Structure 1
């Protein structure tokens, strides 16, 4: 109940702790974000703090007392907080007393983060994991050891969150999934502390996407939905479109066709509103109608609807930047599977050969796994000479 009411106000756990301290007339550090985290997870009962939390949230004390007496309720919606680790991964990141950190330092860090993001467009995770982790470590050190104003501190936390999103994505692409999960959760905590709900949603959705692709389909659905709920209806159009696409993919991997198709339609509707509301963050520069088409085609392929998937994939690939080798190989892999599903084994074999050739020098676990999927799908057509040649050469 505390979590739901706090999120309805758009407050972070840090904000609620500060408001409760204000209601109690006590110093602002008398109740911490970690205390609120424990209350919301059910690890501890507020007791003497309950009247002040109720006052901060503007709800009668009796309603909280009844909720406390009722215990855990079934069917409570999953939220981002449910997936955060025990303890605060940002706990050691307290502002230090070193050199003064200013807006210029934040700007410099933002430039490096965006540079890493652009590098990921053309390089694979295995090539970028080391520099990504070095940048993340450096950013954390900057926050821990420097002194800064509250405004600069929040800006630094936002950059740590953005850096964690791209570093987590890179680690996942390199096949280091446990490390990616830790990085994503670090970023989620940083973004929450910075009170950047859109960034929290991006990190949460990225982790949901990894779950969906690594055999944790139901966790992927729950977390993708939580990411969407986190941002709310007033989120920037590109953000909402992206998070709805991740919801669609999560339902697809869980073999839930109807909610997946609904989410695809809602994603297109959301993107159509771009420019009408809040400006989308720079890190969503790549989200456009073409990228939504890619997700549409992938969902159709996974749901065994090749008549929809093949034309979309061909349209996307016809205009795709050839320097983005990893993405080109990934999208071709879905085309190969869709062609096989459409009973076009010869063309599927030719497309599969392009996937294998492109993937040969790409240090990406994603492309390596997709090659396996394509080859497995082609086994059904081993009697076709073109297919047999591809399979034998791959073996």
Structure 2
């Protein structure tokens, strides 16, 4: 019966579109208690069966508009439901305010300052690789969390602080992943999902989940990548801005691509284009989605075709993208060229693939990015099939020497 209670609480909460924090607040309100003796973590424990509501059960039932008997009733076995983002929260609440706050009073001006620093870090990531940004990114994130936990603030200021922590976690997680620190990145993303959910910002939570799904897909955890990418899309709901839905669908497409599932990948790409077509000048999209446009969808489409070994489609798309690409974004330029090199090899054009691969190696040598380093290794492995071609043989020798020698500066630690 205890397990049934948790399953029913979670099912009914998700059906209402409520976060765990929202349900906790409703329970406290109905119980007429001061403060929040029941918080998000307590609801999570109920849902996972780690704890039974007991005296709180009538108030949980009332909040969910059902009877206590309904909560206790066993459900007929059904297909395992898709997880929710609540299943990806940290084991402990790293954002829980200190019981005795000693910090200063936080106002909206502090939130605005943090918002500017977060956006500055995001713009820096456009042109600076993760190995060079990881230390300042982690410093900013730790400072923001400490500010929220130590400081005193109104509930609205607290909510906006949590949103900024979520945004900061997204870019810091991305930077950590680029630096090759995948374990650190996963912890950061989970922290960000928690912050975004507590702020009731489902769009941001979906963005964070999609970023973690992308990392899963790229680090040998393809099945988990598909599941989490779908969770990000589902939990955000149909009310998410068009750009956000397009991005979530892009992540779904990539996850299926990395799993070698062409048909669902192509369907997701088509839906992503449809979602983006709904974006207009009047659409209110979060500023952190500034980079999501038709060009980025084209990049993802070309990468999917490359991974699925469809060079006749991949090569023209990549060439079109690279023709207009900003050369100051060195890391991304190296990454896109790496996919072109692989696509050219698949198209049986080894000489041109070698020329393109040489550009990838040259650009990557000055970038402290594990992403580009891994793509260099991928390109060289792909070209080994053509080692009897003089241009390729020369490149392979140069590439192996570069890899063995190592970069002049590697990713920095936390």
**TM-score normalized by the length of structure 2:** 0.91
Residue number in structure 2 paired with 1:238? 243
Residue 266 in structure 1 maps to residue 267 in structure 2: no
Q: Matched residues in 2 for 1:288 and 1:95: separation?
A: 46
Which moved further from structure 2: 136-145 or 158-167? Answer: 136-145
Alignment of 1:104-119 (within 5 A): 104-119=109-124
CA deviations 1:160-202 (Å, max 9, x no partner) are 1100100000000000000011111111111111111111001
Residues 173, 219 of structure 1: CA spacing in aligned structure 2 closer, same or farther, 3 A cutoff? same
Residue number in structure 1 paired with 2:232? 227
Residue number in structure 1 paired with 2:285? 280
Residue 154 in structure 1 maps to residue 151 in structure 2: no
Residue 66 in structure 1 maps to residue 73 in structure 2: yes
Residue number in structure 2 paired with 1:120? 125
Q: Matched residues in 2 for 1:279 and 1:10: separation?
A: 21
How well do the aligned residues superpose, as a CA RMSD in angstroms? 1.7
Residue number in structure 2 paired with 1:250? 255
Residue 394 in structure 1 maps to residue 399 in structure 2: yes
Runs (5+) with no aligned partner, structure 1:
none
1:95–1:146 CA contact under 8 A, matched in 2: no
1:124–1:326 CA contact under 8 A, matched in 2: yes
Residue number in structure 2 paired with 1:52? 59
Q: Matched residues in 2 for 1:319 and 1:276: separation?
A: 23
Q: Matched residues in 2 for 1:145 and 1:90: separation?
A: 10
Q: Matched residues in 2 for 1:213 and 1:201: separation?
A: 18
1:306–1:339 CA contact under 8 A, matched in 2: yes
CA deviations 1:188-228 (Å, max 9, x no partner) are 11111111111100111111111111111111111111101
Q: Matched residues in 2 for 1:392 and 1:341: separation?
A: 21
Q: Matched residues in 2 for 1:130 and 1:85: separation?
A: 22
2:140 to 135, 142, 150: 135
1:164–1:184 CA contact under 8 A, matched in 2: yes
Q: CA deviation at 1:154?
A: 0.5
Residue number in structure 1 paired with 2:5? none
The 3-state SS of whatever aligns with 1:331 is: helix
Residue 9 in structure 1 maps to residue 16 in structure 2: yes
Alignment of 1:189-338 (within 5 A): 189-275=194-280, 278-338=283-343
Q: Matched residues in 1 for 2:302 and 2:22: separation?
A: 42
Length, aligned pairs only: 393
Runs (5+) with no aligned partner, structure 2:
1-7, 401-414
Residue number in structure 2 paired with 1:351? 356
Q: CA deviation at 1:368?
A: 0.2
Alignment of 1:165-184 (within 5 A): 165-184=170-189
**TM-score normalized by the length of structure 1:** 0.96
